Structure 1
């Protein structure tokens, strides 16, 4: 599927605003909910990029992640739906058992086959973001086991985007950040309590 997406890529690069970056794509798994919650709770409603999150969740149960996060942040948080228009200051959470992709400024959900037993898969999100947003994309790899995201960060870097990984000391599970770091494609390794400040600096040229 990833090769097919690359083969179908065009030069379209939607721009949401006049800031340096239009989208932050996030990969998270075990321990990721706490990390995402801390980051979002310290971002202001005026944050000028969209945020798309792949969190590995059980396919057996409906997700309440959006509802939980909405109580902790000034941003708008929603479970992603097919055709959603990506908007600044809005967080889109992958539904259970569906890949979350972006395509020409909108959300696309897919029941395509699992990638390394994962659906949703952060690698697919990162690739779609890289192809559509190129240098205006940030990939963020947070706490989690396994290596999801480690292939996708290569696409982000190849297209000129920026890659951030949570550091070992603050990650509950360092598998995913470590795998991304080992690729050599990570630009910044950041403690959890500093990630919001880094995002504000990169996206809006300001600090919290």
Structure 2
């Protein structure tokens, strides 16, 4: 009787040798929006101003930009702004969830009792670091928008008391962005618009119903300017790191949101 042959021994699996051409860490393209992002700040009297702004937006064409609304809200009251704005536009309207990616032809509204920042194409929500009455959520958002989007950032200051938004428009203008302010005669409360106008940095002073035309012209200009723009090669941080970067941005002038690799 013939003896059965033992099966051949399998060779142990080995990992492929790393080649010089294969990076040990895979770079990915940062989701840099190729469209303008419009930050709109308002306080007292802001609801009527928002309604007027979106009622002046054309309904037969997409504006080709995203809109982010930052309004002073009572921390213990549910915002009804999302439902109200939806009556005046055919664009999709969202109350912001943490980490929500921004898309063109959409409207994003800050939720109550949160600060909000724009980083790497997404909206990040944070617990307020200042007590009520001392918070400047419009400045906070405008600064992050300027640092992230550069000359694709647009800041609009509507009706409100105080001076929130004034420091933020300085940041946006410092990056080459566009600034629009509601003319004080059309506001319910003119404190914020007059403070912004006092900087001398405002490009257009208009009633909200007349702002859409300037924005659409600007969006077309930016599309022509950035149409061939190639994004940086970056390593994307996770959400927790992003929030650390946001807090660092608020305390320093160093841009920490992107690690840029050159080859």
**TM class, shorter-length:** 0.7 to 0.9
Computed over aligned residues only, the root mean square deviation of the Cα atoms, in angstroms, reads: 1.8
1:1-208 matches, cutoff 5 A: 14-17=32-35, 22-43=36-57, 44=59, 46-114=62-130, 117-119=133-135, 121-204=137-220
Q: Is the 8 A contact 1:94 1:120 kept in 2?
A: no
**Which of the two has higher C-alpha Rg?**
2
Compare 79-88 and 40-49 and name the one that shifted more: 40-49
Tell me the matched-pair count. 190
Question: Aligned with 2:186: secondary structure?
Answer: coil
Distance in 2 separating the partners of 1:128 and 1:168: 26
Extract unaligned runs of 5+ from structure 2.
Answer: 1-29, 222-263
Distance in 2 separating the partners of 1:14 and 1:119: 28
Distance in 2 separating the partners of 1:204 and 1:117: 39
Q: Deviation of residue 119 (structure 1)?
A: 4.7
Q: Is the 8 A contact 2:145 2:153 kept in 1?
A: yes
Distance in 2 separating the partners of 1:114 and 1:79: 22
Greater than 6 Å deviation, 4+ residue runs: none
Distance in 2 separating the partners of 1:109 and 1:169: 34
TM-score for the superposition, normalised by structure 2: 0.68
Compare 28-37 and 109-118 and name the one that shifted more: 109-118
TM-score for the superposition, normalised by structure 1: 0.85
Distance in 1 separating the partners of 2:130 and 2:144: 16
Question: Aligned with 1:153: secondary structure?
Answer: helix
Distance 1:13-1:148 versus aligned 2 partners, 3 A rule: farther
